[in-house]
Amino acid sequence: MWHISDNLDCEELAALAQEFYGDADISRPDFLRWQYIENPAGRAIGYAARKEDNAAIGQYVVIPQNIYLRGRIVSGSLSLNTLTRPEYAGQGIFTALARETYRACIERQVCLTYGFPNRNSYYGFINKLGFQDIGSLNVYLYPLDIAKLAEKKVGMPRLGKFLCAVLRPQDLFFKMKRPDYKDIAVKEIKEFEESYEDFWSVYKDYYSVILWKNKEYMNWRYMRVPGRKYLAYLAVNPENDEIQGCIVTRIEDMLGLRVGLIVDFMLKRSSGGQQAGRCLLWKAIGFLKENGAEMVMGLFSPQAKEKEILREQRFVRCPERFLPQPVPVILKTHLPVEEDPEREIERISAWFLTLGDYDVG
């Protein structure tokens, strides 16, 4: 027998995650404390399933996320870190914990939960918990050395060398042109400061639905994460120090490759913003290449204007059939969202989402 508990002990749940994922981020107590306790939007909401001896056998958790919707901040949440011990599968643990969590969301006036399920959990979210699939994120790729990628993935030295010779000219297609820095200065930052708030006050109104990415959120999300190293750049007008855009990156080993991730990318909608985008990409990709990245990847919602700069700089959108798994966005509303009478929040076209809004980014 098992019972539901509101005790989300980070040490214990990290040990539970270790059994599933090995040495992943969520297998570390400090990472879970950052995610569950230190979030500026509020503490995690969730429950654990426990045996009679109180040992944890599963968890369902959402973390609060402030969402800017048509000029108003509404309280939302991100579903993440769902797991159940295999020997307890089929006993309704996932559904029971989730429903208890949504009841608590209503009590805390959390209007909605969104998430990015994998193939294994997608069916349960849609068919058992009442989520709706509102669309998918687009995956953009930029190979830093096509021939080397081919040689590495083929795994056959002779064929790899042949592909190197054949594909080497293709690198010229992806060669990024150095941008003009005449009116843009790019600087690395260790903290999002008050000047970023001026940029955010303009940027937030470009989309109908966007996470509330003020400086407190950005510092928590990218500058305070245990075990992860993000690199953040701002592009500014050197005459008045006004921010024109920002980019956040990190490097991750994925599918046998060293991948540079563009986790956040925001630009002002102006000629200065467009030029800032070119300069930020050049700077970020230079860093990623110097540090061994073989591929650069970014995830963006379909209406993200920043994709125009990516395409201009020879990033290519990866067709879904070639992805290891699709990147659907799912949504469940717990309370009526009065700020959204036309239910824009249920359309991916209204959202601005990046890899940084995805819990693995």
β-bridge partners, 253: 258
8 Å CB contact between 133 and 328:
yes
Amino acid at 133: D
N- to C-terminal Cα distance for the chain? 36
Domains of the chain: 2-136 (3.40.630.30), 138-325 (3.40.630.30)
Cβ burial 255-294 (10 Å sphere, 16+ → b, else e): eebbbbbbbbbbbbeeebbbbbbbbbbbbbbebbeeeebb
pTM to 2 decimals? 0.92
Task: Write the pLDDT tens digit of every residue in 84-127.
Answer: 999 999 999 999 999 999 999 999 999 999 999 988 899 999 99
pLDDT at 131: 98
Percent of the chain with pLDDT over 90: 78
Q: Which of 78, 81, 35 has its CA nearest to residue 357?
A: 78
Q: What is the pLDDT of residues 160-177, one digit of tens each?
A: 455 455 445 555 445 677
* Residue 339 · residue 72 · CB < 8 Å: yes
pLDDT (0 to 100) of residue 168 = 52
**For residue 311, pLDDT beyond 80:** yes
Q: Residue 257: its pLDDT value, please? A: 86
What does the alpha-carbon distance between residue 28 and residue 11 come to, in Å, rounded to a whole number? 8
Query: What pLDDT, on a 0 to 100 scale, did the predictor assign at position 218?
Result: 98
DSSP state of 128: I
Q: Give the list of residues 6+ apart from residue 182 with CB closer than 8 angstroms, or none.
A: none
The predicted pLDDT at position 269 comes to 96
Label the pairing between strands 209-211 and 351-352: parallel
* Greater pLDDT, 216 or 321: 216
CA 96, 101, 102, 107 dihedral sign is positive
Average pLDDT score over residue span 164-192: 74
Q: Chain-wide mean pLDDT for the chain?
A: 91
- Angle, helices 10-21 vs 29-36, to 10°: value is 120
What is the model's pLDDT at position 164?
Answer: 54
Instruction: Give yes or no for residue 309 having a pLDDT over 80.
Output: yes
What confidence score (pLDDT) does residue 172 get? 47
Stronger pLDDT, 288 or 177, i.e. the higher one = 288
Tens of pLDDT along 137-158? 999 998 887 666 666 655 545 5
The DSSP letter of residue 222 is I
Least confident of 240-244, 329-333, 335-339: 335-339
Question: How do residues 34-55 score in pLDDT, each as one tens digit?
Answer: 999 999 999 999 999 999 999 9
Per-residue confidence (pLDDT) for residue 156, from 0 to 100: 47
Residue 268 pLDDT: 97
Confidence of residue 358 (pLDDT cuts 50, 70, 90): confident
Residue pLDDT, tens place only, 211-249: 999 999 999 999 999 999 999 999 999 999 999 999 999
Is 347 exposed, middle or buried (CB count within 10 Å of its CB: 0-12, 13-18, 19+)?
middle
Q: What is the pLDDT at residue 318? A: 87
Q: What is the pLDDT of residue 158?
A: 53
User: What percent of the chain has a predicted confidence (pLDDT) above 70?
Assistant: 91
Q: Residue 163: its pLDDT value, please?
A: 46
CA dist., res. 334 & res. 113, Å (int)? 8
CA-based nearest residue to 60, from 82, 42, 45: 82
Q: Over the stretch 265-279, which tens digit does the pLDDT of each residue have?
A: 999 999 899 999 999
**Tokens representing residue 71 in the block:** 């000029």
